[in-house]
Amino acid sequence: MSHIPPPGAHDPASADVPDLRYELDAALAQCPVLHDSGAYTLLGHAEVVQAATDPETYSSAVSRHRAIPNSLDGHEHAAYREIVERYLTRAEVEAQEAQCRAHAEALVAGLERGSMVKTLTHFAIPYAVRTQLEWLGWPAELEEELVAWMDRNRAASRAGDYRQTAAVAAEFDAMIERVLEAGDGTGADPTSRLSRETVHGRPLTRAEVVSILRNWTAGDLGSLASSLGVLVHYLAAHPHVQDTVRSAVAEGDSERVEEAILEILRIDDPFVANRRVTTREVEVAGVKIPEGAPVVLNWTAANRDPQVVGDPDAYCPGENREHNLVFGIGPHVCPGLALSLMELREGLAALLRGTTWVHEFEHERAVRLEAPGSGWARVPVVLE
Ligand code: HEM
């Protein structure tokens, strides 16, 4: 087991934005359940797994808005989940590999050598947006609009302003509606196929199609881009891990590359949390949670629980694989896992193949995202 100090953890230059991971570690050391402002946040690995795998006690119907399949429970959830999974099978994912590689290689070829590159702006965000647009069969011209939307969405969730968030969500729905209007619904792309699906023996409604597409894009573009930011930062800050991942890429060992990706994201999980609501009173780690209480499953904290992983910052890809909660667990476990891993692997592999080294930029520190986000807002690097 190798111990690697957390990047920037004790570095005054990056101390202006606190690192949520270390705040969560400190809270978890006090108690695996945090009761704050009426909500119960589960931080411990065992507590998060218990809640995520008991949907009868922890319902996903957390708001008035119906998000498909995220906010559904039981049979209703299973019916829509089956539809979603059809688009994310191994075969569907493999069919996207070549386009992901091509987009990654084109972006890497255009990145400057020897001067500062902004990982998120110049690489991770355009890569996530371009590959997603192509997968869904949406026009490439939407890239700029989507990137600007992602910025507004992030600002709205940081502000925690419900009205602003709702307005930004409505803008996104309008964009999806435009895409659906422009197509004739007969194509083989996922968007057209989805609009021809049926559930409970009737066609999906337009609102259902929009909701499914919203979950594939609105949330996941951001997750993919921030994950890539975390990965590039980690490799730049941990030369011996960069070395081993470079070797795995050179040997074409996709499994080892994916194990490394999962372990780096376990150490620094930018997909922080999901919500539930209790359907009955329940006691967790000695804390009584009443019926109808909002509960937060904090994946970032649970992934670093020392009871399960020992030193949370130790890089141990093989040993920690089975405890990894980056993509969740239980009936709502991420159906986009295979797609995401492939996209991250292709993005990272293209960057490593196209360079001889990725360095941290010595004149400007990386900056953490502000809570409730985690991961990095800025990852300046220099490519060799
Ligand atoms: C690095 C990228 C990603 C991460 C870290 C991630 C993580 C997660 C997690 C932790 C959950 C569990 C939510 C819960 O239990 O409430 C989830 C659910 C989900 N994810 Fe992902 N995800 C990623 C990318 C994607 C992509 C690319 C797609 C689809 C294209 C996707 C589609 C979904 C959907 C539809 C759900 C809800 C599943 C359900 O409720 O049954 N995700 N994701």
Q: What is the pLDDT of residues 67-106, one digit of tens each?
A: 999 999 999 999 999 999 999 999 999 999 999 999 999 9
Q: Give the Å distance between the CA of 334 and the centre of ligand 1.
A: 4
The Cα-based distances of 196 to 139, 191, 208, 212 in angstroms read: 20, 9, 12, 13
Q: pLDDT over 90 for what percent of the chain? A: 80
| Binding site membership of 332 for ligand 1 (Cβ less than 6 Å) | yes
Q: What is the pLDDT of residues 325-343, one digit of tens each?
A: 999 999 999 999 999 999 9
Number of H helices, E strands in the chain: 17, 14
| Binding site membership of 326 for ligand 1 (Cβ less than 6 Å) | yes
User: What is the reported pLDDT for 139?
Assistant: 92
CA distance 182 to 278: 42
All structural domains of the chain, each given as residue ranges with its CATH number in brackets, are 18-383 (1.10.630.10)
Specify the length of the chain in residues.
Answer: 384
pTM: 0.94
Query: Which residue's alpha carbon is nearest to atom 17 within ligand 1?
Result: 334
Tokens 């996104």 sit on residue: 172
Would you give the end-to-end CA distance of the chain in angstroms? 29
Structure tokens at 73: 């429970």
Peptide bond preceding 190: is omega within 30 degrees of 0, i.e. cis?
no
In terms of DSSP bridges, do strands 198-199 and 58-59 run parallel, antiparallel, or are they unpaired? unpaired
Q: What is the pLDDT of residues 219-251, one digit of tens each?
A: 788 899 999 999 999 999 999 999 999 999 999
Query: Which residue's alpha carbon is nearest to atom 21 within ligand 1?
Result: 334
| Binding site membership of 87 for ligand 1 (Cβ less than 6 Å) | no
Q: Give the Å distance between the CA of 367 and the centre of ligand 1.
A: 25
| Binding site membership of 52 for ligand 1 (Cβ less than 6 Å) | yes
Nearest to 346 by CA among 217, 189, 239, 227: 227
Q: Give the Å distance between the CA of 30 and the centre of ligand 1.
A: 29
User: What is the reported pLDDT for 7?
Assistant: 38
Q: Please state the atom number of ligand 1 nearest to the C-alpha of residue 69.
A: 40
The Cα-based distances of 309 to 23, 52, 148, 191, 376 in angstroms read: 18, 19, 38, 40, 23
Pocket test for ligand 1, best of 71, 264, 334 (most atoms within 8 A of CB): 334
| Binding site membership of 264 for ligand 1 (Cβ less than 6 Å) | no
- Beta-carbon neighbour count of residue 163 at 10 Å? 9
Query: Which residue's alpha carbon is nearest to atom 6 within ligand 1?
Result: 327
CA distance 246 to 191: 36
Nearest to 328 by CA among 20, 60, 3, 22: 60
- Cβ-count burial of 280 within 10 angstroms (0-12 exposed, 13-18 middle, 19+ buried)? exposed
| CB within 8 Å of 344: residues ≥ 6 apart | 224, 227, 228, 231, 261
| Binding site membership of 213 for ligand 1 (Cβ less than 6 Å) | no
Peptide bond preceding 12: is omega within 30 degrees of 0, i.e. cis?
no
Q: Please state the atom number of ligand 1 nearest to the C-alpha of residue 227.
A: 1
Written as one letter, the residue type at 373 is: G
Query: Which residue's alpha carbon is nearest to atom 18 within ligand 1?
Result: 334
| Binding site membership of 216 for ligand 1 (Cβ less than 6 Å) | yes
Structure tokens at 305: 């629980």
| Binding site membership of 84 for ligand 1 (Cβ less than 6 Å) | yes
How confident is residue 128, by pLDDT bands cut at 50, 70 and 90?
very high
